[in-house]
Amino acid sequence: MAGPIVYIDRSDVTPGTLVDLQTAVSELVAFVEAREPRLIAYGFYIDDVASTMTVVAVHPDSASLEFHLSIGGPEFRKVGAFIKLRAIEVFGRPSDTALDQLHEKARMLGDATVLVRSADAGFARMPSAET
């Protein structure tokens, strides 16, 4: 089932860096919003009590995810200074190129695991490159 890609990653926040992390995240969001009009949703959820951060992104297709990963590298590193990435989970069918990019991001930001979950059934009521 081709279609949207839901990306979720989970990180531990380095102690004492919450304010710097929030600044870096705000700058990353502004960067992505200005350069990626196809990205449907992009959110950062920081739990300061648990010292964790979760990122959720919804892409219309694998090409959007590839583009995001190709232009975001230097910007991800700025956020990476304040976190240790634990896991990336992708729902959908990313291309082989996107998978390679995901594994590179996982190594760069904390040697995280990458899990891909393909849909067995379902539908999406959102724009897609194939419609």
- Grouping H, G, I as helix, E, B as strand and the rest as coil, residue 90 is strand
pLDDT of residue 128: 52
- Residue among 75, 106, 76, 62 at smallest CA distance from 88: 106
Distance CA 11, CA 64 (A): 23
For 25, 30, 96, 107, 109, the CA distances from 114, given in Å and listed in that order, are: 21, 26, 13, 10, 12
> What mean pLDDT value characterizes the chain?
93
The stretch 58-70 carries a mean pLDDT of 96
Which of 3.30.70.20, 3.40.50.300, 3.30.70.100, 3.20.20.140 is the CATH number of 5-117?
3.30.70.100
What strands lie across the sheet with 113-117, from one edge to the other? 41-47, 52-59, 5-13, 83-91, 113-117
| pTM listed for this prediction | 0.92
Residue with tokens 């009009």: 37
Tokens for 51, please give them.
């010292």
Give tens-digit pLDDT for 40-61: 999 999 999 999 999 999 999 9
Cβ(120)–Cβ(93) below 8 Å: no
Distance CA 83, CA 79 (A): 7
pLDDT of residue 105: 95
Number of residues written out for the chain: 131
pLDDT of residue 131: 44
Domain regions of the chain by residue span: 5-117
